């Protein structure tokens, strides 16, 4: 029996709420295919009140591509709050279950960095495809914690022909530390992002399912091949301002525990809203699965045989943290947490 899903657009060009999935039943191939069509078209799908737990959230995510996970961090002794390595912890809670406060500047820098436009894990050599974020426990209504998305395909389409030509073939060097330094310049004054590995992805990438191009100029882009840092930022920052105009942006509110949002990191950018009054007071327990980009540009211009991964949540709390950079199977030096 066919179960037709309903997609209710939330913006003129992207983002839809998807209704009609019975989350208490297994996800059939038919439903999966419809969700796939929906995410290809809208770039962001909102599922309300899923009632999913971590295991079923992970099982749903695994239908849409190979999952990235936190196992490299566990291997080097990182303590995780959540038992499943496929779950990325995007909460304001530390591994000992305490609320994060402003007394932890490295974590604050990480959270502020998350409030800059980005595409998940673009600083790794294999970039992300779909992120699926579930509000396991939301802060009280009216205390903030919304998430914003921007339509990076539409933002690209609307560029002048001259700018499109200028961007053609340009390669960005993506750095997690650059993003954090932008977010917390005083705290990371001494940190030089160039001392750490970066990953190379083109500034304009193709979306395989639709053939549309995307502006991949996230806040991780430190510099562009062949250009100085200053020249690169003078190109990238105005592009981010262009893409961040209200007409390309959709702010999504989290309404109830169990709400879940799926987005395509190869079509949209997103950011957390940092200013929420919940911060330091209420738990915002957000849990995310992240699949790899399964398309031909997943590795950008990086060597697929030389995997580069940079540190993920939970952020290290030592003053200037070591990035997590190694081939998956080699023993990495212990990192202080
Ligand atoms: C993420 C993210 C934003 C938020 O999970 O990748 O950027 O609002 N989250 O928590
Ligand atoms: Mn993110």
Residue 312 pLDDT > 80: no
**Ligand 1 site, residue 131, Cβ cutoff 6 A:** yes
Local confidence band at 169 (pLDDT 50, 70, 90 cut-offs): very high
Residue 239 pLDDT > 50: yes
**Nearest Cα residue to atom 9 of ligand 1:** 272
Distance 334 CA to ligand 2 centre (A): 26
Residue 170 pLDDT > 70: yes
Q: What is the mean pLDDT of residues 158-165?
A: 98
Q: Could you say which ligand is closest to the alpha carbon of residue 133?
A: 1
**Ligand 1 site, residue 122, Cβ cutoff 6 A:** no
* pLDDT confidence of residue 59: 98
Rounded Cα distance, 173 and 301, in Å: 10
Rounded Cα distance, 251 and 65, in Å: 26
Q: What is the mean pLDDT of the chain?
A: 90
* pLDDT confidence of residue 154: 98
* pLDDT confidence of residue 101: 86
Residue 240 pLDDT > 60: yes
**Positive or negative, the Cα torsion across 225, 223, 175, 61?**
negative
Burial 129-146, CB ≥16 within 10 A → b, else e = bbbbbbbbebbeeeebbe
Q: Which two tokens stand for residue 179?
A: 């993003």
Rounded Cα distance, 210 and 146, in Å: 28
Q: Domain locations in the chain?
A: 6-292
**Nearest Cα residue to atom 4 of ligand 1:** 272
CATH of 6-292, one of 1.10.3720.10, 3.40.50.11540, 3.60.130.10, 3.40.1280.10: 3.60.130.10
Local confidence band at 317 (pLDDT 50, 70, 90 cut-offs): very low
**Ligand 1 site, residue 180, Cβ cutoff 6 A:** no
**Ligand 1 site, residue 114, Cβ cutoff 6 A:** yes
Residue 118 alpha carbon, nearest atom of ligand 1 = 7
* pLDDT-above-90 percentage for the chain: 79
Rounded Cα distance, 262 and 142, in Å: 23
pLDDT tens track for 119-128: 999 999 999 9
Residue 333 pLDDT > 50: no
Distance 120 CA to ligand 2 centre (A): 5
Distance 254 CA to ligand 1 centre (A): 12
Q: What is the mean pLDDT of residues 69-96?
A: 90
- Helix H or strand E segment including 237: helix 229-243
**Ligand 1 site, residue 116, Cβ cutoff 6 A:** no
Higher-confidence residue of 292 and 276: namely 292
Rounded Cα distance, 193 and 255, in Å: 38
pLDDT tens track for 251-269: 999 999 999 999 999 999 9
Q: What is the mean pLDDT of residues 214-241?
A: 98
Helix (H, G, I), strand (E, B) or coil at 234: helix
**Ligand 1 site, residue 260, Cβ cutoff 6 A:** no
* pLDDT confidence of residue 3: 60
Q: What is the mean pLDDT of residues 157-163?
A: 98
Mutate to test the pocket of ligand 1, among 70, 90, 92, 263 (most ligand atoms within 8 A of CB): 90
């Amino acid at each position: 029996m066919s179960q037709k899903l309903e997609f209710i657009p939330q913006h003129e060009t992207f983002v839809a709420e998807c209704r009609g999935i019975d989350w208490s039943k297994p996800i059939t191939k038919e439903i999966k295919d419809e969700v796939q069509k929906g995410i290809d078209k809208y770039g962001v799908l909102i599922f309300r009140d899923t009632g999913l737990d971590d295991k079923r959230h992970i099982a749903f995510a695994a239908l849409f591509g190979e999952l990235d996970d936190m196992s490299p961090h566990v291997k080097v002794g990182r303590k995780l709050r959540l038992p499943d390595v496929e779950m990325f912890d995007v909460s304001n809670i530390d591994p000992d279950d305490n609320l994060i406060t402003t007394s932890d500047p490295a974590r604050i820098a990480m959270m502020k960095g998350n409030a800059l436009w980005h595409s998940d894990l673009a600083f790794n050599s294999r970039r992300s495809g779909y992120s699926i974020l579930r509000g396991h426990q939301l802060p009280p209504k009216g205390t903030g914690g919304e998430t914003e998305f921007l339509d990076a395909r539409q933002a690209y389409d609307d560029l002048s022909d001259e700018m499109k030509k200028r961007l053609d073939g340009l390669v960005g060097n993506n750095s997690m530390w650059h993003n954090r330094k932008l977010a917390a310049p005083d705290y990371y004054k001494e940190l030089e992002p160039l001392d750490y590995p970066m990953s190379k992805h083109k500034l304009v990438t193709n979306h395989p399912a639709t053939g549309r191009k995307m502006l991949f100029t996230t806040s991780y882009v430190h510099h562009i091949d062949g250009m100085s840092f200053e020249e690169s930022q003078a190109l990238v920052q105005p592009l981010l301002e262009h893409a961040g105009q209200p007409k390309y942006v959709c702010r999504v509110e989290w309404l109830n525990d169990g709400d879940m949002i799926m987005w395509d990191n190869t079509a949209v950018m997103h950011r957390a809203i940092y200013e929420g009054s919940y911060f330091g007071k209420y738990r915002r327990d957000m849990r995310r699965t992240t699949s790899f980009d399964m398309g031909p540009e997943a590795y950008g211009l990086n060597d697929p045989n030389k995997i580069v991964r940079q540190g993920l949540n939970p952020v290290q709390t030592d003053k200037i943290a070591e990035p997590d950079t190694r081939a998956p199977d080699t023993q990495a030096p212990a990192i202080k947490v």
